[in-house]
Amino acid sequence: MLEKQQTGMENQSDVAEENETDIVEGDEETIVNEEEVESEEDETPPSEEEVESEEDETPPSAEDEIDQLKSEYEAKLDRMLRTVAEYENAKKRAIRDKEEFQKYAVESVIKDLLPVIDSMNRAIESAKESTDFNSLHEGIKLIQKQIHNVLERSNVSTIDAVGGNFDPNLHEAIAQVESDLPTNAIVAEFQVGYKLRDRVLRASMVSISQGSSSPETDEEDTKEEVSEEKEDTTDE
């Protein structure tokens, strides 16, 4: 009897275990089915925007590339033409400014000379009414001083001549004279020279020394000539 009861209890436990396994397997199947349903829900068809974006990602055609190159070329050509136009305008403006400067470059010098002209006119008028040559001489010297002041303000200076050495860059020799001064020394000045800063405006017209010719030197020269002639005769 006991053996039958034990076998019966074992059979009942086996049946219970089988039922539990069936329940577990059923739960697993339901879980798997739910995951499949979720995956199917996730696999919804793409929207219109996604479809359009996929269409946009398609490579451009040859015509589109040509149109793009044309637009880039036109943009670069426009920039180049603008640059050329700006350069031409700047060039014309520079030429115009240069012409304006050349027209009125001496404006300040002329303004400085106007008082000198006024002084000269007054001196002429006074000379008609007065015979005082001393006062006229003094007036002319004052006018000369005014002119030199104007030249100095314009960086114009006179060229040193008498007593100095002849310089072909600054002086123009019109005569050679005998003097006690060394050779090529300037003896006299016939016309004053002027220079603007370092540039010569007018060279000085001068006479230069050719050295002194004393009788002693002439006798020595004749003696040398005679001795040379004697030597030639003895050789013959």
Instruction: Specify whether the CB–CB gap between 148 and 189 falls below 8 A.
Output: no
- The pTM score is 0.49
CA-CA distance, 165 to 191, in Å (whole number)?
Answer: 16
> What CATH number is associated with residue 226?
2.30.22.10
CA-CA distance, 134 to 26, in Å (whole number)?
Answer: 147
Indicate the number of domains in the chain.
Answer: 1
Task: Count CB-CB contacts under 10 A for residue 159.
Answer: 20
Task: Please provide residue 192's backbone torsions phi and psi, each rounded to the nearest 5 degrees.
Answer: -70, 140
Predicted confidence (pLDDT) per residue in 13-68, tens digit: 554 455 555 544 545 454 445 555 455 444 555 566 655 555 556 677 888 888 88
| Residue-number span of the structural domain to which 223 is assigned | 158-236
With the C-alpha atoms ordered 162, 165, 171, 174, is the resulting torsion angle positive or negative? Answer: positive
CA-CA distance, 187 to 206, in Å (whole number)?
Answer: 7
Longest dimension (CA), the chain: 189
Predicted confidence (pLDDT) per residue in 138-189, tens digit: 888 888 889 998 888 888 999 988 888 899 999 999 988 888 888 888 999 9
By mean pLDDT, which of 27-31, 86-90, 115-119, 190-194 is the weakest? Answer: 27-31
* Structural domain contains residue 166: yes
